[in-house]
Every structure is written in C-alpha cells, then in structure tokens.
Amino acid sequence: MSLLYELRVQTKIYLIGDDANQIIGSKLPSNMQVLKVLFYNLRKVKLNLRQSSSLVLKEKMIFWEKARIPTRDFQRCIEKLEKMYNEWRNLQKHATRKNENQINKEKQFKDQLEDLFDIAHANSMQMISLEDDKIFLTLQRQKGRPGYLSGVDYAFMRNVKDKEERQEKLNARKKRHYEQCAATFNKRKFVIFFNHTFIFNKLLNHFFFFLLYFVESIDFSD
C-alpha cells in the first residue's frame, strides 16, 4: 500500500468522502455538494464554521438566482447548513459504534446527501410567476433532482425578452402620446395668445380713435 494512498484514506471525510473547492453542475446544489465545499473551507482554507457556511451559501445562491427561484433569509440558510453540519458531527463522535441505532442514523444521513439543499422561500410557489420554474423546483426536490438549469434559463430569458419588448413598445407609445399632447397644448397657447393680442390691439385702436374724435370735438376758441 503506497504512502499516497494512505494519505488519501486519512483525508477522507466521514460519510462524505473528498472535499471540493467549488460547486459545479447544472442542477441546484445537493446536501453533499454543499458539505464538500464547507469542509474544504474548514480544513483547507482554515475558516471557522460561520465564515465557511457564509462562503458556501454565497456560492450556492448563484445557482438559485440563475434559476430565478426566491430564497429564504440568508441567516436562516446559514442556520440550516450549520444544523446539518452539527448532525454530521454528532454521528462522527459515535462513528466507532456499530450498533443498530448508529447504523440506521448513518444510513438515513447518507440517503439524504444527494437530495436538494433546499433554501427556497416558504412562499416560493406563490412568488414564482412562470410555470416552468415551479415545475423545475418541484423536480429538483425529488430524488435525483431531475431537470437542468439550462432549459429553464432559455424559457425564462425568452419570456423576459418578450416582456421587455412589449414594455419598450408601450413606452414608445406613451412618449408619442405625451409629445402630441405637448405639441397640441403649445399650439393652443399660441392661438390663445394671438387672439388675446389681436383683441387687445383692436380695443386699443378703438380707444385712440375715440380719443381723437373727442379731442377734435372740443372747441378751443373760448
């Protein structure tokens, strides 16, 4: 048995296997993926549990944002991850026990490792507008997490693009309407001003004519 093999065995993580420096794939991350990166941050990067959890979840959030699925409060996500880690710690403490209770707990824990590390908002199904996204989240919650992010992204982006184009057309119509209203208003102001000026000039002419007539009618010979 080689020294390299012995070292690899020694660095294996109980129930987890190897650690990982990042989350990869086209699905929403599983419990296993999250724990692998958490252990990498703890053992290789030498961060504490809270720092490691925060770093993992920030990376994990990218996948959920890409899927356009609303998530719960970040602090609650950290608490969920730390709870799972503490569950692993409790199992590790009694790893040498091989009684039925310990074996059943280990099996139950391992059976959940490939399940979705679910951080969806409690009202996510009501908050998600696209039916495709609801279906995707439902599938990801099943065993094996069927479905891929790429297909959902395409459908979503197409919908977003159509919505943006409709909004642009609506904004253009509004702009034309406002411009027409402004032009009509300015034209009416000019007409009103012109009419007022014309009437004022006409009255002024009548006044001067009357004044001239009045002056001429006065007899200055007295």
* Model pTM above 0.85: no
| Domain count across the chain | 2
Q: What percent of the chain has pLDDT over 70?
A: 72
pLDDT 10s digits, 161-180? 466 567 777 877 877 877 88
Q: Are residues 110 and 29 in the same domain?
A: yes
The three-state secondary structure class of 30 is strand
What per-residue confidence (pLDDT) applies to 177?
79
Higher-scoring residue by pLDDT: 189, 134: 134
Question: What is the Cα–Cα distance from 158 to 42, expressed in whole angstroms?
Answer: 41
At which of 120, 147, 174 does a domain end?
147
Q: Which one, of 119, 136, 17, 31, lies nearest residue 70 by Cα? A: 119
- Least confident residue range of 52-56, 59-63, 105-109, 158-162: 158-162
The three-state secondary structure class of 98 is coil
- Indicate whether 33 pLDDT > 80: yes
Q: What's at 10, amino acid-wise?
A: Q
Inter-axis angle of helices 31-43 and 74-93, nearest 10: 80
Question: What is the Cα–Cα distance from 222 to 211, expressed in whole angstroms?
Answer: 21
**Token representation of residue 204:** 């002024």
Q: What's at 102, amino acid-wise?
A: Q
What per-residue confidence (pLDDT) applies to 218?
61
Q: Are residues 58 and 155 in the same domain?
A: no
- Indicate whether 133 pLDDT > 70: yes
**Token representation of residue 109:** 């824990």
Question: What is the Cα–Cα distance from 53 to 42, expressed in whole angstroms?
Answer: 9
- Indicate whether 40 pLDDT > 70: yes
Q: Are 75 and 125 in contact (CB under 8 A)?
A: no
What per-residue confidence (pLDDT) applies to 182?
73
- Indicate whether 215 pLDDT > 90: no
Q: For residue 216, give its domain range.
A: 149-222
At which of 114, 147, 180 does a domain end?
147
